Amino acid sequence: MKSRTRSKGASLAGWLFADLAIVLSLVFLQSSIVGGESVEIEEYEAPSTSTTTAETESGSGRGVSILACKVKFLSAPNLDDGYQIYSNLKDKVSETTCANIDQFGVILVYAGNQDIGDDVIARGNADKVCDSLFSYWEAIDRKTTYCEGFKNDGITSNYFDLTLFPYIEQTDP
């Protein structure tokens, strides 16, 4: 009986075909990625409820300073007492470098969350502080000041950390 043996050339042909198929697949995929259809990206429109800059007609404008004032104050026993929150903050601001600032562009309110452990309640408390400040403090305005509430797990719920960014005047050179 005659035994069948494969020649070396026949076994290499299969590997060459497999390699060629892989290379052609990669070339096809690369060309479809680079030369494929363009993807439309929808632009995000920010809500127009507040702005952090204001322009004047004279060519000069205002911007928000990157040098912030940090305030930590004990909240009023009743978060619904906006005037008490305002007075506590006003006293603490007078002890900082922002004592003579007329208007603020951005206020970040961090509500304590260490003892309650509920992020939603902490952010709600921070939002109440923002609302109180908008109601009573003349240094901020809903049209020109951005106030946002956050939580801080490092302090208890009766404390708030505030970061205040004042407006600065800008003039054209």
Q: What domains are defined for the chain?
A: 54-170 (3.30.1330)
14-18, 35-39, 87-91, 92-96, range with the lowest pLDDT: 35-39
Which residue has better confidence, 33 or 132? 132
Q: What percent of the chain has pLDDT over 90?
A: 0
Flag whether the pTM goes above 0.75.
Answer: no
What are 25's two structure tokens? 């697949």
What are 65's two structure tokens? 């300073």
Average pLDDT (104-118) is 85
Q: Is 59 left (phi over 0), alpha (psi -120 to 50) or beta?
A: left
167's CB contacts (< 8 A; 6+ apart) are: 54, 62, 63, 64, 65, 101, 102, 103, 104, 105
Q: Where are the alpha helices (DSSP H) in the chain?
A: 8-34, 82-93, 119-136
Task: Select from 105, 91, 92, 102 the least CA-distant residue to 142.
Answer: 105
Task: DSSP letter for 54, please.
Answer: E
What are 100's two structure tokens? 């003579």
